[in-house]
A and B are shown apart, each in its own frame.
With several copies, the nearest count.
Chain A
């Protein structure tokens, strides 16, 4: 579709397509996944693009596999990743649950990968409407063991592209799985997208080498990857090593967008689709003279706690965590605020997308009575 030589131009892309195209540009040459609504267009896009690429660049050996299940997909990724290939899988909530064991393995083995979750409503089969109810799973590691994944939460289709492109670099840099989370709205919606000059098509040959990769032991001693480390002291050492890496990520990578926060005495915190609603609601409130601001976490892990804490220290009257679920991120807001101000929650689960008007009403109510948590 887009050739790497093209100079930046606007395209009208679906969220899932933006993710797919950004992945291809970032040098992803291995995709394995399994259909599930509302992200089917992503594997569909990849099946086509990998095929086209195979014709254009056979030496890049692009691979698309529709695996027999989500479990199989994530474990195929493990294999692809260990060879050094940039790789991606995608799914939606139930399918992401099935990948938890594999994600834990990859984190334990320090293997990079990009995992896209176009969330749907849950629990169970739930529905396919926009929802943010996998926040806990994404940010706490739904799998077992001490690990975290970087979690990126785009709020526009442009960001779906930008953050996916970046996700591959982050994954490689930290040798850790990176999650990109959206919802049915982010995945299905089309918006204008520009691939910037600093986001060129990257050919595999030009990607930074991965000296740790396994490609056969020619010319060097053989080596291996594992997550089984039986002696507790060795396992502990390994865990602390991972921990220090995670701490580094926590120091370096938290990211948030701040909208009219400087003089705000009330701050809404929201990500992804909810942040779009919130942005509009905040504007409405400002128009009415209410000093309301918005903090939009772009990384859900590492969480931008510091900026929230600093905002709280500046004397904000109250915070409102606004989520399309029953209250999950509110924990992180509370942990950041740590009692400095009341933290309120407003959310709607199940795929109901509140309107800016509705949210503005909630904001106004709390604004007038900030101390009382609901």
Chain B
């Protein structure tokens, strides 16, 4: 099992936190995990992305030339990473902030109006966590339990409210996606054979 996920968006959209939470959760499941931010610090720009690799073995490289999963938070990222995901992989796309659709048919894609949903649910700033929840529903890289525990851990220094808000956002994203996927082939995924104990296959493969 070796699952590579890229999160991409604009600076400030919380892309790096998404990756961090996923990596943290994977660590809690005693998986091998690497988290790698794209560091373009010598050139300024509004984009941010990071890659999380989860595996049950040593991980060679924390960067991915063709990730299994790609989570897209805004339009420039969609443009940039359209051809980046591996054939057969999956895309999760914040449809609120992209123009049009992914121009590929060899990957699974799920469009979530995350910004709108987040705004409606109270704060635009939760869009990333909702997407993260949806991503978990879609990919099953870690369990929701682990993720919820991870969030409690990560924000332990902040107040309880921050934890709650984030946990709720993740959950609502998960629920949204589970429902959405349920409409399609989510059921199929739920019964997919796990390639290794403690490891879950990437959704949509």
Which residues on A are within 8 Å of B, measured CB to CB? 10, 12, 37-38, 40, 127-128, 184-185, 188-192, 228, 230, 273, 276-277, 279-281, 353, 355-356
- A-contact bits for B19-58, CB 8 A (1 contact / 0 none): 0100110011000011111010111000000000000001
Please determine whether A10 and B36 come into contact, CB atoms closer than 8 angstroms: no
CB-defined contacts of B61 to chain A, threshold 8 Å: 185, 273, 276-277, 280, 353, 355-356
CB-defined contacts of B34 to chain A, threshold 8 Å: 189-191
State the Cβ distance, B6 to closest chain A Cβ, in Å: 14
- Closest partner residue, chain B, to A125 (CB atom): B42
CB-defined contacts of A355 to chain B, threshold 8 Å: 60-61, 65
Please determine whether A230 and B43 come into contact, CB atoms closer than 8 angstroms: yes
Please determine whether B58 and A190 come into contact, CB atoms closer than 8 angstroms: no
Which of the residues A185, A230, A281 comes within 8 Å of B62, measured between beta carbons? A185
- A-contact bits for B124-165, CB 8 A (1 contact / 0 none): 000000000000000000000000000000000000000000
- Closest partner residue, chain A, to B66 (CB atom): A355
**B170 located at the interface, meaning its Cβ lies under 8 Å from any Cβ of chain A in the complex:** no
With A279-B60, A355-B61 already in contact, the answer to whether A230 and B42 are too (CB < 8 A) is yes
Please determine whether B33 and A191 come into contact, CB atoms closer than 8 angstroms: yes
Please determine whether B58 and A12 come into contact, CB atoms closer than 8 angstroms: no
**B63 located at the interface, meaning its Cβ lies under 8 Å from any Cβ of chain A in the complex:** yes
Complex-state Cα separation, A40 to B42, whole angstroms: 11
With A189-B35, A230-B43 already in contact, the answer to whether A12 and B59 are too (CB < 8 A) is no
Please determine whether B39 and A12 come into contact, CB atoms closer than 8 angstroms: no
Please determine whether A280 and B58 come into contact, CB atoms closer than 8 angstroms: yes
8 more A-B contacts (CB under 8 A) besides A191-B34, A273-B61?
A37-B41, A185-B62, A276-B61, A280-B58, A353-B61, A353-B63, A355-B61, A355-B65
| B residues 65-86 touching A (CB-CB < 8 Å) | 65
With A192-B27, A230-B43 already in contact, the answer to whether A276 and B60 are too (CB < 8 A) is yes
Interface of A is mostly: mixed
Which residue, of A127, A191, A277, has the highest number of chain B Cβ atoms within 10 A?
A191
Which of the residues B20, B36, B58 comes within 8 Å of A188, measured between beta carbons? B36
Which of the residues A127, A230, A279 comes within 8 Å of B58, measured between beta carbons? A279
Please determine whether A228 and B42 come into contact, CB atoms closer than 8 angstroms: yes
State the Cβ distance, B67 to closest chain A Cβ, in Å: 13
Which of the residues B24, B42, B60, B63 comes within 8 Å of A280, measured between beta carbons? B60
- Closest partner residue, chain B, to A38 (CB atom): B39
- Closest partner residue, chain B, to A157 (CB atom): B34
- Closest partner residue, chain B, to A130 (CB atom): B63
CB-defined contacts of B41 to chain A, threshold 8 Å: 37-38, 40, 128
Complex-state Cα separation, A267 to B27, whole angstroms: 32
Which residue, of A10, A188, A279, has the highest number of chain B Cβ atoms within 10 A?
A188
CB-defined contacts of A280 to chain B, threshold 8 Å: 58, 60-61
CB-defined contacts of A279 to chain B, threshold 8 Å: 58, 60
State the Cβ distance, B132 to closest chain A Cβ, in Å: 16
- Closest partner residue, chain B, to A284 (CB atom): B60
Please determine whether A190 and B23 come into contact, CB atoms closer than 8 angstroms: yes
CB-defined contacts of A40 to chain B, threshold 8 Å: 41
Closest 6 CB pairs of A and B: A280-B60, A190-B35, A37-B41, A192-B27, A189-B62, A276-B60
CB-defined contacts of A281 to chain B, threshold 8 Å: 60
Please determine whether A188 and B39 come into contact, CB atoms closer than 8 angstroms: yes
Please determine whether A185 and B60 come into contact, CB atoms closer than 8 angstroms: no
Please determine whether A12 and B35 come into contact, CB atoms closer than 8 angstroms: yes
State the Cβ distance, A160 to closest chain B Cβ, in Å: 13
Which residue, of A38, A40, A185, A192, has the highest number of chain B Cβ atoms within 10 A?
A192
Complex-state Cα separation, A12 to B150, whole angstroms: 11
Name 26 interchain pairs, CB-CB below 8 A, sorted by A.
Answer: A10-B27, A10-B28, A12-B35, A38-B41, A127-B42, A128-B39, A128-B42, A185-B36, A185-B61, A185-B63, A188-B37, A190-B20, A190-B35, A192-B27, A192-B33, A228-B42, A273-B61, A276-B60, A276-B61, A277-B61, A279-B60, A280-B61, A353-B61, A355-B65, A356-B60, A356-B61
CB-defined contacts of B33 to chain A, threshold 8 Å: 12, 191-192
CB-defined contacts of A277 to chain B, threshold 8 Å: 60-61
State the Cβ distance, B112 to closest chain A Cβ, in Å: 26
State the Cβ distance, A119 to closest chain B Cβ, in Å: 14
- Closest partner residue, chain B, to A37 (CB atom): B41
